Structure 1
Amino acid sequence: MRFILALAAAGLFAGASLAQDANLPPPELNTQAVPGVMARAVDDVIRPGYHAFEDASGRLANDMGVLCAEPFPKNVDAARHAFAATVEAWSKIEIVRVGPVLEDNRFERILFYPDRKSTGLKQVQAALVKKDETATDMQTLKDKSVAMQGLGALEFILYGTGSEDLTGERDSYRCRYGMAVAENLKWLSGELVRAWDDPNGIQKAWKTPGPDNPLFRDEREAVGELLGVLVHAAESVRDQRLETFYKGEGARAFPKQAIYRRSGLTFTSIEDNLKGIGLLLKRSDMAELLDPEVRSIVSSIEFLLKSVERKAGELDRDVKSDVELSVKDNEARAKLDYILLNAKDLILRLNDQYGGAIGLSAGFSFSDGD
């Protein structure tokens, strides 16, 4: 039963493939549609996504400040709720791993993951033990290791060993360190908002490909960047969100390496990653770049995305966000297998099938090919 949705989606694509192969001329990129697609990607997805992340991290910084001043259980709950909202907002927009987020190590400063050798965790724990005051000021924190200043660090502060100290003394070290992290996230999100909102900055480069453009000399390069965002996002779901802790039936599982396992946001973040892919595909109207005869390719991709999203959501509910339980329970493992299988299928559909249908198959390779 778990493969029915995948087979149904494959059937949708089969029709598209037949249409494409029915003695049609080689596909060519619809260059006239590219500026509109790129503009919608910027204005309807990327900029709103960073604004949502800035809003969420702003509320998080505020709630951490309240918690430090009034260390009561209800304020711990409020701070944790704000943390979850920030993770959800970030997970939708983190798929955009290009542009300003890669400058000044912003991406790693927001989220240092995977941390296979627990380097970041050890640094955060050391700061908490030593009570390093330079970690409690955003201005000095931002110059420290990237692993000490983002979502991973704050998750440990709010949920990790010793988090009961948050309801102890007022303005405790642990809370002040957490507040500095939250303020740092707010600042970083604001930098991303300002970079993408600048009409003469990166949004102009995305919207107007051409020979004088510093990023995209033509429409082909612009669409290559956009499609690359989707492909690499799908790869990240498979490689970094799932295979970091679960590689499939028969392979040893490492649930303690799962992202956001302490806060119970592992499967929520995966679901939001997939939602981010779907939003970029749909709201930018990437189907417009295809010949009408093969636009069902996009429908099949959207169908597959929705089915994988649902499985991630079911996992979140079924195992109560318990990653360790998810790798032990037979039904939960079947859903993990489903996501793994179809995440790989998603990569192929985006990279080979959609890319080929818009004429980017020759000379373009977005996928890692695994």
Structure 2
Amino acid sequence: MHRNRRLPLALALALTSAVPAAAQEGSPLSPRVVNEAAVPTVMAKAVDDFIIPGYRNLTEKAAAANAATAKLCAAPSEPALETAQSAFSDLVGAWSAIEIVRLGPALEQNRFERFLFYPDRKSTGLKQVQAVLSKQDESATDVARLKGKSVAAQGLGALEYVLYGTGSESLLSKEGDFRCRYGLAITKNLDDIANEFLAAWQKPDGIQAAWKHPGPDNPDFRDNREAATELLGILVHGVETVKDQRLKPFYEGKDDKGHPKLAIYWRSGNTMASIAANIRGLKALFDVADMQSLLPEDSRSVAGSADFVFKSVIGMAANIDGPIEQALTDENKRAKLAFLSLNTSDLLDRLNKDFGGAIGLGAGFSFADGD
């Protein structure tokens, strides 16, 4: 079953009422319902024009990272290392745009965690990767055996440490042979997982069929409302993740000095680029699926306001360049982080409350109440 288990049962129950709680409680808001006729087309566009292309791009970037790492291992040099690092950054960008689809195949076989283990609150992943390197554990250089190891030792976090962490300068010579072969196994593993994602979504009678054909016999979506809820849930949980798991760990506000080493991809300098890609991915899904068509005609302005905040958040995230340590000590960049934090919260409200309410969710109900 491909259902996103993070969406609480109460959400489905809330949608079964044709009259939102806001109207029931005497609110001046008139009842709102999702434009059900638009749902199948919106879901099909989400699959065909965002999810499948996103995973296809991921397979291409994973294959490129694998090829670049193989060349580095065969002939270590500074240009070869720079190429491998650039390929890593490209792979992070591709993943950040599609990781928002955290359901279905992503939840099966621990694929999501195997691709990215984060947050690593107890430095579990770091310790395991360091142990592999210090012991020169040859089993970690065999892709089949690597897949059986901890998720923390086989994904993007592990690859980042190999390419950028303590001792990565050894990759400039044959001294780093083991380290490089471990990195090569990681890139092949990521390539395999990316292709599994793509194959699962491309299968005609698999999850894409469930998304495109809501109905009473569909084990995932019994009706159009459930399908629309799942799609909006991707956006809401995606923005919530950026707010709580990407920004808050290293920046909690103007009075917080900051914690740069808690930021995702801080070693490679990809923190803000990844966050910008997360939001770009969410906006791309919103746009290409034509999610505004789910709204009643008299509520279309909700989509416009969300679009405005989307653009503001993307622009600001992309405008905070350089290492995250510098951003936290630069007054101008800290102001930008404050703006980003504030507007991410605003975007969450516009999607969760405004958009959700406009398609029939009860007032006060929050997608973010899910675990």
When the two structures are superposed, what TM-score results if normalisation uses the length of structure 2?
0.90
* 2:112 counterpart residue number: 107
* 1:236 counterpart residue number: 241
Q: Does 1:97 align with 2:102?
A: yes
User: Any gaps of 5 or more consecutive residues in structure 1?
Assistant: 1-20
Most deviating of 141-150 and 248-257: 248-257
Q: Does 1:200 align with 2:201?
A: no
> Does the 8 Å contact 1:352/1:361 carry over to 2?
no
* 1:17 counterpart residue number: none
Following superposition, the deviation at residue 294 of structure 1 comes to 1.6
Find runs of 4+ consecutive structure 1 residues off by over 6 angstroms: 21-24
* 1:327 counterpart residue number: 328
> Does the 8 Å contact 1:297/1:354 carry over to 2?
yes
Cα shift readout 1:72-118 (whole Å, capped 9, x = no counterpart): 11111111111011000000000111110011111110000111111
CA RMSD of aligned residues (A): 1.8
> Does the 8 Å contact 2:34/2:295 carry over to 1?
yes
* 2:81 counterpart residue number: 76
Following superposition, the deviation at residue 365 of structure 1 comes to 3.1
Q: Which amino acid aligns with 1:111?
A: L
User: Any gaps of 5 or more consecutive residues in structure 2?
Assistant: 1-25
* 2:169 counterpart residue number: 164
* 1:288 counterpart residue number: 293
> Does the 8 Å contact 1:110/1:151 carry over to 2?
yes
Following superposition, the deviation at residue 328 of structure 1 comes to 1.4
Distance (whole Å) between structure 2 residues aligned to residue 111 and residue 22 of structure 1: 44
Distance (whole Å) between structure 2 residues aligned to residue 357 and residue 177 of structure 1: 50
- Give the total of aligned pairs: 346
Give the alignment partner of residue 183 of structure 2, picking from 178, 185, 193.
178
Give the alignment partner of residue 160 of structure 2, picking from 155, 158, 162.
155
Distance (whole Å) between structure 2 residues aligned to residue 24 and residue 361 of structure 1: 11
Distance (whole Å) between structure 1 residues aligned to residue 279 and residue 143 of structure 2: 32
- Name the SS of the counterpart of 1:259 in structure 2: coil
Distance (whole Å) between structure 1 residues aligned to residue 317 and residue 33 of structure 2: 36
Q: Share of identical aligned residues, percent?
A: 54
Q: Which amino acid aligns with 1:178?
A: G
With over 3 angstroms needed to count, the CA separation of the structure-2 counterparts of 1:353 and 1:174, relative to structure 1, is same
* 2:9 counterpart residue number: none
Following superposition, the deviation at residue 360 of structure 1 comes to 2.5
With over 3 angstroms needed to count, the CA separation of the structure-2 counterparts of 1:356 and 1:24, relative to structure 1, is closer
When the two structures are superposed, what TM-score results if normalisation uses the length of structure 1?
0.91
Q: How does 1:246-257 map to 2 (within 5 A)?
A: 246-257=251-262
Distance (whole Å) between structure 2 residues aligned to residue 100 and residue 298 of structure 1: 29
Distance (whole Å) between structure 1 residues aligned to residue 301 and residue 41 of structure 2: 20
* 1:38 counterpart residue number: 43
* 1:18 counterpart residue number: none
Following superposition, the deviation at residue 174 of structure 1 comes to 0.2
Distance (whole Å) between structure 1 residues aligned to residue 121 and residue 143 of structure 2: 26
Q: Does 1:360 align with 2:361?
A: yes
> Does the 8 Å contact 1:69/1:171 carry over to 2?
no
Cα shift readout 1:293-352 (whole Å, capped 9, x = no counterpart): 221111111110111111111102xxx2x1111111111111111111111111111111
